[in-house]
Amino acid sequence: MLIRIGYDLVIEAPAPVPMLLMLYTHPSRAGSLKQPEQIRFEPEIPVQEYIDSFGNRCGRIIAPEGQLRIGNDLVVEDSGQPDIVNWNATECPISDLPSETLQYLLASRYCEVEKLSEIAWQLFGEVAPGWARIQAVCDWIHRNIHYGYDHTHLGKTAYDVYTEKAGVCRDFAHLAVTFCRCLNIPARYAAGYLGDIGVEPLPTPMDFHAWFEVFLGGQWYTFDARHNMPRIGRVLMARGRDAADIALMTSFGDYNLVQFKVWAEEVESSVEVVASPSQKSQNLAA
């Protein structure tokens, strides 16, 4: 399966502003891209790329005064298979966990383990350890947290989501990650593209999507408390402890977001990639 992914963003700054961008696909997807990935800017500006401590591909720029268009348009090859489900995946004792997973047991900016630990054990302590317990976490969040853009804000934490019972995909993921860590299961936050492939299209314009990954049975598995079902065509951009680690755009000064378009849709094998972010014939929300 081929999936066309990309975005067309326009920002406006009153003065030059340094920025960090996590608008690339994750390096683990590099082999599935049908052409090399390069973010395009109008007007053209230099970008310094680097890999952060979580293995994400990042860019440093200085956005000029006035408007800057940031664009990407790629075709990625995908298996066409839904997220893996493995009911036999087991929890790993903390003493046997790989050292690199331990940071995903700890509290982080948006995931207050200490505030939700007792609640998590009350809700899920009697559920069989392993895949069933993580699925119970997803089921509870999916049933009890109301989804909507009117129910979130920049500083909203997992505990806020639990008490307010509302949020967006980022908030669903933060609460799920926190519950898992409370239960001594490594969990990390992830974000990327998820088009409406194989499901009824949503009526709202497409956005980037957040989900989470859990370490079970010696490997990482994908879960999604927002949709709570295996999905086709998930394309990872970045992962970290929570959203603070993988903000897609971080500025060190003021700017306004003038335009925001994202797309991820299945295409025929003969598709041609648009050469300029100003050509938006395929920029329809999925």
Q: pLDDT tens for residues 213-237?
A: 999 999 999 999 999 999 999 999 9
Indicate whether 72 and 133 sit together in one domain.
no
How much is the pLDDT for 270? 54
- Low-confidence winner among 30-39, 143-152, 257-266 (lowest mean pLDDT): 143-152
Cα–Cα distance for residue pair 283/265, rounded to 1 Å:
10
Banded model confidence at residue 246, pLDDT cuts 50, 70, 90: very high
Residue 285 included in any domain:
no
- Count of structural domains within the chain: 2
Residue 84 included in any domain:
no
Give SS3 for 175: helix
Between helix 113-124 and helix 169-182 the angle, nearest 10°, is 80
Pick the more confident residue, 14 or 268.
14
Indicate whether 205 and 125 sit together in one domain.
yes
Q: What six digits make up the tokens of 114?
A: 């200490």
CB 243 within 8 A of CB 192: no
How much is the pLDDT for 151? 78
- Low-confidence winner among 96-100, 121-125, 152-156, 238-242 (lowest mean pLDDT): 152-156
Give SS3 for 124: helix
Cα–Cα distance for residue pair 107/5, rounded to 1 Å:
33
pLDDT at 185 over 90: yes
Range of the domain at 102: 94-245
Cα–Cα distance for residue pair 93/47, rounded to 1 Å:
43
pLDDT at 281 over 60: no
Banded model confidence at residue 269, pLDDT cuts 50, 70, 90: confident
Mean pLDDT of the chain: 93
Indicate whether 238 and 262 sit together in one domain.
no
Q: What percent of the chain has pLDDT over 90?
A: 89
Give SS3 for 56: coil
pLDDT at 116 over 60: yes
pLDDT at 279 over 80: no
How much is the pLDDT for 271? 54
Residue 114 included in any domain:
yes
CATH code (residue 257) = 2.60.40.2250
Indicate whether 74 and 160 sit together in one domain.
no
Indicate whether 165 and 207 sit together in one domain.
yes
CB 251 within 8 A of CB 42: no
Q: Where are the beta strands (DSSP E) in the chain?
A: 2-13, 17-21, 40-42, 48-51, 57-63, 66-77, 146-147, 166-167, 187-194, 209-216, 219-223, 234-240, 249-251, 256-267
Residue 85 included in any domain:
no
pLDDT at 278 over 80: no
- Low-confidence winner among 145-154, 203-212, 232-241 (lowest mean pLDDT): 145-154
How much is the pLDDT for 121? 98
* H or E, element range at 176: helix 169-182
How much is the pLDDT for 273? 52
